[in-house]
Chain A
């Protein structure tokens, strides 16, 4: 499994350059087992679920592109609203956040669908299906919500049962002490390649898996009238159905934010090495690392 690169012939130098470009360690490296099969499988299943859930969720949102706080929709005072207004130069899209109005033509409120300017919350390229089709959006959303929930549940149960949570995810006291240094290291884009999660990784993964995941699931269920009959505590917990809908929306965009940072980190800390470790499980670490 070990591969060494000590020779400095032209070919090897080029190989090293290429290796650096795609994120292989410069020093002689060893491939270690990093991600077990359960982690890899649930990771990719989750990635597919989140993609479908996000896009079909925006399709559902577009059926009534406004958010409220409380039990009911106070139509005159939305927290957030996207509207379209006619103007001499065509349909304009506006986004209201509270009382503040922003011209978001082309992106939010009004955007092109199949070549035609259409009144719609989010644009067609980010909704599933593209055109306004609530019934289909709901079918996609609920089917993948089941998959997302079951996958998340099995992963969490496995992580607790097999010690993944304690061993790899939960930050230790020592980790937390190293937090300031780790933040500085991240700012400097310096990443340790020892095959273990650093404290910021541990914190963000733990919060997303055991915080954001359950939260988006529960706020989603709070929007179901039958679940509200079965578990009225949900309404008490989130301050009403419309609040739950708003929190659900914020959770979705938190996931989107997590995804963007996650992508940036994957690229900055060695694209190929990271992707390989999530596909085959093998991760290259520097050979002289303890």
Chain B
């Protein structure tokens, strides 16, 4: 970029920055990509600061049985709209398989039965939706760290991507399946589990049957439901919109610790 061009850019941005004081200005600014990019830079600061305090092992608070909500609210997809899913559901998900692929030494294809045969963790935790509400439930599942240890991530692997069976696109649009991702630090956190039971019952369909993610230090949209594939990657740019998740592609922050 030539000098005058960058100066002009600086001046226009300064002027735009001043407009920030005007409220209409703020709403207008929200439409600009560079504004959301600039504000989004703060996400990195937030993540670094929170990691500084919470590290890799600080546990999310766990609660008592008496704290469990009478009805656990479900959000997002409540029933994946596909005949394939309906067939699996009718069959009690006996033939559902979870593939573990990508940058791993040992790719896996696990049945629900095989997954449930692995050591499990049970935790009563609070679910926080990005909308602002909270619910407490008891989850049982396989620690993701256990599954990853079996698959042995390669050295270049940085992120764990969860591919889901629920199509978020409309009927006449190309399919766009829900997906999410965590970095290895959050993925191997002791409370990060692949949950198959809620409140001592098989996971209900509206809550993500047969398998959903629990990442207890994150907001609800990170906790992918209806998982059928777990992929290890070195970066997220080549998947869907490239921002690491379905909601992230719509402008939500990838780091959802706040």
A interface residues, Cβ below 8 angstroms from B: 48, 51-52, 55, 60-61, 63-64, 66, 68, 71-73, 75, 128-130, 133-136, 138-140, 142-143, 146, 221, 223-232, 235, 241-242, 245
Contact = CB atoms under 8 A, between A and B. Distances in A.
A139 B217 contact: no
Contact of B27 (A48, A130, A139, A146): A130
Contacts of A228: 60-61, 126
B219 A231 contact: no
Given A140-B26, A225-B219, A242-B134, 5 more contacts: A61-B132, A129-B27, A139-B251, A221-B258, A227-B54
Contacts of B61: 228-229, 232, 235
Interface in B110-138: 126, 128-136
A142 B253 CA distance: 11
Contact of B40 (A64, A68, A139, A227): A139
Interface string B217-245: 11100000000000000000000000000
Which 5 pairs, one residue from A and one from B, show the smallest C-beta to C-beta distance?
A226-B257, A224-B258, A135-B251, A73-B133, A139-B39
Interface stretch (B8-16, B45-53, B146-154, B164-172): B45-53
B63 A71 contact: yes
Contacts of B250: 135
B53 A231 contact: yes
A241 B26 contact: no
Contacts of A66: 133
B253 A223 contact: no
A227 B60 CA distance: 9
Contacts, number: 131
B187 to A, nearest CB: 15
A55 B67 contact: no
B138 to A, nearest CB: 13
B172 to A, nearest CB: 25
A229 B132 CA distance: 18
Contact of A226 (B50, B131, B132): B50
A173 to B, nearest CB: 40
Interface of B: 20-21, 23, 26-27, 30, 36, 38-40, 42-43, 45-46, 50, 53-55, 58-61, 63, 67, 69, 73, 126, 128-136, 216-219, 247, 250-253, 257-258
A239 to B, nearest CB: 13
A71 B132 contact: no
Contacts of A146: 42, 45-46
Given A140-B30, A229-B58, A71 B136 contact: yes
B26 A129 contact: yes
Contacts of B46: 142, 146
29 contacts: A51-B23, A52-B20, A55-B23, A55-B26, A60-B132, A63-B131, A64-B129, A64-B131, A64-B133, A71-B63, A71-B126, A72-B134, A73-B135, A128-B26, A135-B252, A136-B30, A136-B36, A138-B252, A139-B42, A140-B39, A143-B42, A223-B132, A225-B126, A227-B258, A229-B216, A231-B53, A241-B126, A242-B133, A245-B132
Contacts of A71: 63, 67, 126, 134, 136
Contacts of B129: 64
A75 B257 contact: no
Contacts of B258: 142, 221, 223-227
A146 to B, nearest CB: 6
Contacts of A130: 27
Contacts of A72: 67, 69, 126, 134-136
B40 A241 contact: no
B52 to A, nearest CB: 9
Nearest to A136: B30
A63 B133 CA distance: 10
Contacts of A242: 133-134
Nearest to A221: B258
Nearest to A226: B257
Given A64-B131, A72-B135, A229-B216, A136 B251 contact: yes
A128 B20 CA distance: 11
A10 B252 CA distance: 64
Contacts of B59: 229
A245 B258 CA distance: 13
Given A140-B39, A229-B216, A229-B217, A134 B257 contact: no
A75 B134 CA distance: 10
Contact of A133 (B30, B53, B132, B253): B30
Contacts of A232: 61
A232 B58 CA distance: 10
B60 to A, nearest CB: 5
Contacts of B218: 225-226
Given A71-B126, A140-B26, A245-B132, A229 B54 contact: yes
